[in-house]
Amino acid sequence: MSPASLDRPLTLALSKGRIFDETMPLLAAAGIQVTENPETSRKLILPTSSPNLQLIIVRATDVPTYVQYGAADFGIAGKDVLVEHAAEHPGGLYQPIDLNIARCRLCVAVREGFDYEAAVHQGSRLRIATKYVKAAREHFARKGVYVDIIKLYGSMELAPLVGLADAIVDLVSTGGTLRANNLVAVEDIVEISSRLIVNQASLKTRADALQPLIDAFAQASANP
């Protein structure tokens, strides 16, 4: 799948924001610096201090796609993104390490005062708004609760406030966004962190260049 060529640099796919920011110390531990800042630069391909490594900046949800098709040799993506990607594109991505960065948890949240336990026990259908359709569907299937899933692409917190849904499934880190919108987390579904993902063909054909970086990431994330 990977158009492996010996002279092109390895390509690492990252999203800007928290994943980029938390990846910089891991690259630094491997002796690699990035001088351009994706928040201010409009460049989507960023060089690094290593001639053997370049970064591409893509949307968080697109990282697995670039890696799966070999347009990037490796990438960093949240477990939330990887679960949803795998639902549509099974196989194809090697996940050697949990980098323990961009940590948060996937939760069910409702409006303050909404009696979630009663709503769940009644056996009536719940309306759930979320970007995480697969994770939400599996969570409620495990509980034996019937749900109608409404797919949203952002600002999930709004949905229970305006009557679009009874509950949301969303990521929570500090809890500040829920509090600001009078929502409360009523269930934790899973702990989330970001993983290194590697294109399987690159792993075979470019192991000489890739493996030292994978090892450096593993070491830096185990000893932050």
Binding site for ligand PRT (CB under 6 A): 15, 17-19, 59-61, 78, 80-81, 102, 104, 154, 170-177, 192, 194
User: What minimum distance in Å lies between the beta carbon of 156 and ligand PRT?
Assistant: 7
Q: In this structure, what token pair is assigned to residue 195?
A: 């993983």
- Please, which residue, 34 or 104, has the CB nearer to ligand PRT? 104
Distance separating alpha carbons of residues 78 and 196, to the nearest angstrom? 9
- Please, which residue, 59 or 125, has the CB nearer to ligand PRT? 59
- Please, which residue, 52 or 177, has the CB nearer to ligand PRT? 177
Give me the residue whose beta carbon is nearest to ligand PRT. Answer: 78
DSSP 220: H
Partnered with residue 75 across adjacent β-strands are 13, 197
User: What minimum distance in Å lies between the beta carbon of 95 and ligand PRT?
Assistant: 14
User: What minimum distance in Å lies between the beta carbon of 77 and ligand PRT?
Assistant: 7
- Please, which residue, 9 or 103, has the CB nearer to ligand PRT? 103
Look at residues 150, 147, 109 and name the one whose alpha carbon lies nearest to residue 129. Answer: 150
Distance separating alpha carbons of residues 214 and 198, to the nearest angstrom? 9
φ/ψ (deg, to 5) at 45: -115, 120
Tokens 């158009």 belong to residue? 3
User: What minimum distance in Å lies between the beta carbon of 19 and ligand PRT?
Assistant: 5
